[in-house]
Amino acid sequence: MEDGEQREWGAKAWTYLSSVRSLSPLIQCITNFVSMDLTANTLLSAGASPAMLHSPNESPDFTPQVNALYINVGTLSDNWLPAMELAAQLASKLNKPWVLDPVAAGASRFRLKACLDLISLKPTVIRGNASEIIALAKASFASTKGVDSSHDSTDAVEAAKSLANSSGAVVAVLGAVDFVTDGNRIVGARNGVPMMQKITATGCAFTALIAAFVAIDPSHAMETTASALAVFGVAGELGMETARGPASLRTYLIDSLHGLDQTAVISGVKITAI
């Protein structure tokens, strides 16, 4: 990997983060109960404006106002699914970017079908762990350990490419190595620390941050997605310098994301074309 190429990615990530801070995109989040607090705080620390509005009675008025929509099926229930589908339909119709986190997609037939139905509504980005992406690509359940992955991210490279090609979405997979693909190109993001897995809903917060970055430049979903992953990863690395465990990392992660400066981003971002 050329140093110059890495710095170019760093500069790109800094430009996107600066735009999130200056434009403060409004992000509609229809997300799980576990993740709501961390997701809203992550978006605020990045400079975006989160709104957890999920009623189907509100989406016809509200979704047209937002810069991006984030849907996360983590605590899916019968009555939330139509709300998710309605908001996704509105976003697609209005050409607004929307991002899906298919939490535990392979855990049940109900969840798998819900995720596949949502994917037919054309998300801009799908971000999952390896087991979720494999379940979606194969349209088969029972390949996951609940919300956690039972695969390494590298096991999901072909599944991610196949899902990107069949759905038209950019697909991002988190793991020891995070990567993003549009079905053709693949870029890896090597930031972050393993302790981030020990804070519930970090993956959900990553996906929300992708929505904020994609809102800035929807026609470059690969670049914005990779930048969001790397930027949050750098915040995790800096937070880990002070943290004593998952609980304090959660706090320092949010502080670090808020305080990231140009030097930290440009020198810290590790994105590579694979």
Ligand X SMILES: Nc1ncnc2c1ncn2[C@@H]1O[C@H](COP(=O)(O)OP(=O)(O)O)[C@@H](O)[C@H]1O
Ligand Y SMILES: Cc1ncsc1CCOP(=O)(O)O
Verify binding: residue 239, Mg ion, rule CB under 5 A: no
Alpha helices in the chain (DSSP H): 3-23, 36-46, 59-62, 81-93, 109-119, 130-138, 157-167, 202-216, 221-240, 246-259, 262-268
Size of the site for ligand X (CB under 6 A): 14
Q: Residues 47, 188, 203, 236: which binds Mg ion (CB under 5 A)? A: 203
> For residues 175 and 239, which CB has a smaller minimum distance to ligand X in the complex?
175
Verify binding: residue 99, Mg ion, rule CB under 5 A: no
> For residues 56 and 246, which CB has a smaller minimum distance to ligand Y in the complex?
246
Verify binding: residue 197, ligand X, rule CB under 6 A: yes
Sequence-distant (6+) residues with CB within 8 A of 250 are: 38, 199
Size of the site for Mg ion (CB under 5 A): 2
Verify binding: residue 106, Mg ion, rule CB under 5 A: no
Alpha-carbon distance of 248 to 4, in angstroms, equals 35
Considering only the stretches 5-13, 47-55, 190-198, 237-245, report the one whose residues sit in contact with ligand X under the rule CB under 6 A: 190-198
Cα angle: 235, vertex 239, 240; to 5 degrees = 120
Taking CB atoms, the residue at the shortest distance from ligand X is 203
Q: Residues 50, 97, 192, 239: which binds ligand X (CB under 6 A)? A: 192
> For residues 178 and 223, which CB has a smaller minimum distance to ligand X in the complex?
178
Q: Which residues pair with 174 in a beta bridge?
A: 129
Residues that bind ligand Y (CB under 6 A): 32, 34-35, 74-75, 103, 147, 200-204
Q: Tokens 């390896």 sit at which residue? A: 130
Considering only the stretches 44-52, 62-70, 182-190, 202-210, report the one whose residues sit in contact with Mg ion under the rule CB under 5 A: 202-210
Strand, helix or coil for residue 69: strand
> For residues 90 and 115, which CB has a smaller minimum distance to ligand Y in the complex?
115
Sequence-distant (6+) residues with CB within 8 A of 29 are: 36, 39, 40, 43, 50, 51, 52, 70, 72, 208, 211
Verify binding: residue 103, Mg ion, rule CB under 5 A: yes
Give least dist CB 131 to ligand Y, A: 11
> For residues 90 and 268, which CB has a smaller minimum distance to ligand X in the complex?
268
> For residues 86 and 100, which CB has a smaller minimum distance to ligand X in the complex?
100
3-state secondary structure 166-191: HHCCEEEEECCCEEEECCCCEEEECC
| Secondary structure (DSSP) of 30-51 | E--TTTHHHHHHHHHHHT-EEE
Q: Which residues bind ligand X (CB under 6 A)?
A: 129, 148-149, 174-176, 178, 192, 194, 196-197, 202-203, 233
